[in-house]
Amino acid sequence: MNAGGTNLINSLTLAQSEGGIGGMLLVGIAVGTVLLLFLAVFLATRYKRCPSNRVLVIWGRGGGKQSARCYHGGGQFVWPVIEDFAYMTLEPLVIDIPLEGALSLNNIRVNVPSTFTVGISTDTVMMANAAERLLGLPPQAVREQAQDIILGQLRLVIATLSIEEINKDREKFMGLVNENVTQEINKIGLELINVNIRDITDESGYIQAIGQRAAAEAINKAKVEVAQANRDGATGEAVAQREQTVSVAKEMASATEGEKAAEQTQRVAVADLEARAIQGEVESKRDQDIAIAERNAETAAAAKRAEQSQRVQVAEAEARAVDGENTSRAEIAESNAKLAEIRAEAKRRADVAAAEALEAILRKEREQELARLSKEELAPQEIEKQRIEIAAEAEAEKQRREAKGEADAILAKYEAEAAGVQKVLEAKAEGYRKLMEAAADNPNVAPTLLMIEQLPELVREQVKAIQNLKIDKVTVWDSGQGGSMLEGKGNSTANFLSGLIGSLPPVHELAQQAGVELPGYLGKVAEADSPAPIEQKPMKPSKPSGDEKA
């Protein structure tokens, strides 16, 4: 650039020195070349390449549902002024989880120190989530957010499992941890790379007791096997001894039987010789033979008892041997049953794990399909829905404003009418006040004048009440005092008002007798010092004239 600047200055100097149109043309070409070169360099600096271990985030221009555009690999042009960019690293974060005192399903607190390895995912949806929630945060802040999420989900998984399930079925435990943690950290754009659970301990020593119990069971099993071997040896030895004893007893019995037979033959022969030789000695010899026979019988009985005792002892030994064999067979059968149960439980767990894995795969496929439908089909519908909602809100606002304007007009109308009525009432009140002041000497005049003022309205209402009635005749009642219309006397239709005022005292007296209180606008009858009795004459109906017929 220094050489180019020097050449440009030299060209400008030469152009100024030469002057003329040619010099100006050279100046324009040089300036245009510099501007093009500067524009090319500037545009080249705005083309951003994304390394394989980073994510390029561009935001600014456009907008819409996505707040930023995320790219992994390749390069993108970043428009100046209207767009900006930043990078997010894909390097894994190793997070130590010193979980202590997590409550398990059987209310035993366990310690599960573990190490989780997470990182920003290159999935399109999760890159957008990471750009919205993690862009610009230092690695320590990202590590703290992920640590809080992992701690909560790890406690939740431990709360659903018992100590035996956590300690024995590590595959199920790891599967639940991976599933729950993955679902939550995906919301902030992270994916789970690896889980390493270092050890599982508890404060109460329950897991250690489980290990001791397993060791004791193994030791007891070995002892049982040794005892069974000893039993088998003792049983074989007892069988051999029994066979030996039976054989010896048989041989001894045969020898004793032969000896007794020989003795019997010898005694018979000796007895016959002695009987033929010495008959005189029969009695003494008989006694001798009886004594010898008794001794021999006792010897034989003792031998039989010994043989019986021997046989009883051999039978008891055989019974004990058979009992031991049956016990051994029962223990073997029980051990085989436990082994079958363990195999069945292992098969059940394997089937459950396979079903859960298949369920997780189907769930992921469902989420992927929902994301695709949300992008391809639901997005236009959502836009149309928002447009309809905005139009509906605008129409509702228009109707609210029109209704408010109509309400304001009605309110103004009624306020004006109320003001007019108030003015009329104030004027009437002022007139009534002046009337009362004018009639202060005679208070009965004011109600009479007010009643006279309302008579046209009363007559108008009475006429309205009977204007649709069909009347064939009219009967007029007077006071019975006589007189005619021509003379201008008496109570006639033409002099209705004077007749009405004249009839007020009788009306008051009739109301007093009936116990009825008349309103104040009909006036009051002044009481005389010595009221004279008034003779009421019956009112005679007068014949209607031709003009008074309806």
Looking at the fold, whether 78 and 114 belong to one and the same domain comes out as no
pLDDT of 180 reads 92
- Tens of pLDDT, residue by residue over 85-143, are 888 888 899 999 988 888 888 888 888 899 999 999 888 888 888 888 888 889 899 99
pLDDT of 485 reads 46
pLDDT of 426 reads 87
Looking at the fold, whether 175 and 244 belong to one and the same domain comes out as no
- Residue 323 in any domain: the answer is yes
Chain mean position to CA 461: 72
| Stretches in the chain below the pLDDT threshold 70 | 1-23, 62-65, 204-206, 208-209, 211-215, 271, 275, 280, 282, 284, 469-504, 506-507, 510-511, 513-523, 525-550
Q: Which domain holds residue 59?
A: 2-85
- Residue 412 in any domain: the answer is no
pLDDT of 481 reads 52
Q: Which of 350, 383, 406 is the last residue of a domain?
A: 406
Looking at the fold, whether 97 and 175 belong to one and the same domain comes out as yes
- Residue 146 in any domain: the answer is yes
- Residue 530 in any domain: the answer is no
pLDDT of 538 reads 46
pLDDT of 150 reads 93
Question: How many other C-beta atoms can be found within 10 angstroms of the C-beta atom of residue 366?
Answer: 10
Nearest-angstrom CA–CA distance, 162 and 107: 8
Nearest-angstrom CA–CA distance, 126 and 122: 7
Looking at the fold, whether 276 and 391 belong to one and the same domain comes out as yes
Q: Specify whether the CB–CB gap between 491 and 481 falls below 8 A.
A: yes
Nearest-angstrom CA–CA distance, 129 and 30: 49
Tokens 């007009």 label which residue? 409
**Closest CA relative to residue 55, chosen from 108, 128, 107:** 128
- Residue 420 in any domain: the answer is no
Question: How many other C-beta atoms can be found within 10 angstroms of the C-beta atom of residue 129?
Answer: 20
Q: Which of 381, 406, 431 is the last residue of a domain?
A: 406
- Residue 145 in any domain: the answer is yes
320: amino acid identity, one letter: R
pLDDT of 258 reads 77
Looking at the fold, whether 319 and 242 belong to one and the same domain comes out as yes
462 phi and psi angles, rounded to 5 deg = -65, -40
Rg, C-alpha atoms of the chain: 66
Looking at the fold, whether 164 and 221 belong to one and the same domain comes out as no
Which helix (H) or strand (E) element contains residue 257?
helix 206-277
Question: 84 forms bridges with which residues in the sheet?
Answer: 59
Number of structural domains the chain divides into: 4
Looking at the fold, whether 263 and 385 belong to one and the same domain comes out as yes
Chain mean position to CA 363: 20
Looking at the fold, whether 116 and 234 belong to one and the same domain comes out as no
Which helix (H) or strand (E) element contains residue 48?
strand 47-49
Looking at the fold, whether 40 and 134 belong to one and the same domain comes out as no
Q: Which of 69, 85, 101 is the last residue of a domain?
A: 85
Tokens representing residue 187 in the block: 């919301």
Looking at the fold, whether 136 and 25 belong to one and the same domain comes out as no
- Residue 486 in any domain: the answer is no
Looking at the fold, whether 214 and 350 belong to one and the same domain comes out as yes
440: amino acid identity, one letter: A
Identify the CATH number of the domain in which residue 188 sits: 3.30.479.30
Looking at the fold, whether 66 and 140 belong to one and the same domain comes out as no
Provide DSSP, 463-531: HHHHTT---S---EE--S----TTTT-SS-STTHHHHHHHTHHHHHHHHHHHT-PPPGGG--PPPPSSP
pLDDT of 154 reads 92
**N-terminal to C-terminal alpha carbon distance within the chain:** 126
pLDDT of 541 reads 45
Q: Long-range contacts: 160-164, Cβ < 8 Å, 24+?
A: 160/105, 161/104, 161/105, 162/104, 162/105, 162/106, 163/104, 163/106, 163/108, 163/110, 163/202, 163/206, 163/207, 163/210, 164/210
> CB within 8 A of 427, min separation 6: which ones?
none
pLDDT of 539 reads 46
- Residue 435 in any domain: the answer is no
Angle between helix axes 282-373 and 206-277 (nearest 10 degrees) is 160
